[in-house]
Amino acid sequence: MIPAFGLIIVGDEILSGKRADKHLPKVIELLGERGLALSHADYVGDDRSRLTATLQRAFASPDVTFCCGGIGATPDDHTRQSAAAALGRALRPHEHAQTLIRERMQDMAREQGEAFAPERADNLQRLQMGMLPEGARIIPNPYNKIPGFSCDGVGGGVVHFVPGFPVMAWPMIEWVLDHTCRQWFDRTPQLEHSVVLFGAMESALTPLMERIEAAHPGIKVFSLPSVDHPVHGRHIELGVKGPAPLVPAAWQALQSELHQSSASLGPELVRKR
């Protein structure tokens, strides 16, 4: 079975509009390049109790979930603590993570022409990013060495935690996919076949959609209305999607019924994944 893939995006700055989220479209792209798809996404502010509850749901599921943001060591970073609380585990110094953080601090001192001072207050604070839930596995960070981490959930799934910065998060998500999810790549190629309808109403199309889904298990029938499309104007895109081998028969059945209706048919659209 291929697991469902989820995404959690953490940060008040996203919910306030101070910063625009870039993770959702990128994760959809990264999954799609590998024949996978995103099933669900959550946005959560910097609220420890709410984030803990969101992570509890993720850990209780069988899904593969990516969580972006909040793994730093400032007072508004709560993700590491919330992950530990959601799992009922303690935060412990992760030896490998802290080694990598020390290497990063040494690099920074060298770049600034300074002697490395491991006991300096800011360096000790940086080591807090290496306090991870018991049993965590690290995710390498090619940008600045400070790692993310992965934890297994009680529901059989896993949550992968990466920074909020896209320049770090995206290559780390790619690393996770390529090193832990390869067995699911391109296992069930997906196909979507649809047509643009003019002069149709969604309410009138509903019985047809229900009949097609009932007659073709594994297929989803969708309708996507537009009122101001730059090319087609007001229309409905109606189609079927699902595993590639199942789509042609469902599409033929849908097309046959549409030709018997009074709807005006526009261009057809085919999308593969």
Domains annotated on the chain, with CATH = 5-184 (3.40.980.10), 190-272 (3.30.70.260)
* pLDDT surpasses 90 at 200: no
Averaged confidence pLDDT in the chain:
95
Alpha helices by DSSP H, the chain? 12-15, 23-32, 48-60, 79-87, 95-111, 121-126, 166-180, 202-215, 247-259
Residues 47 and 19: beta-carbon distance below 8 Å:
no
Residues with Cβ within 8 Å of 122's Cβ and at least 6 positions away in sequence, in order, are: none
Torsion angle of the four alpha carbons 137, 78, 46, 169, in this order, in degrees rounded to the nearest 10: -30
Residues in the chain, total? 273
Q: Please answer whether residues 24 and 41 qualify as being in contact, where contact means their C-beta atoms are separated by less than 8 angstroms.
A: yes
Closest CA to 5 of 46, 49, 35: 35
Average pLDDT, integer, range 207-219: 96
Percent residues over pLDDT 70 in the chain: 100
CA 83 to CA 133: how far, in whole Å? 7
Q: Which amino acid is at 114?
A: E
How far is residue 157's CA from residue 63's CA, in Å, rounded to a whole number?
5
pLDDT digits 0-9 by tens, 79-109: 999 999 999 999 999 999 999 999 999 998 9
In tens, the pLDDT along 137-162 reads 999 999 999 999 999 999 999 999 99
This prediction has a pTM of 0.87
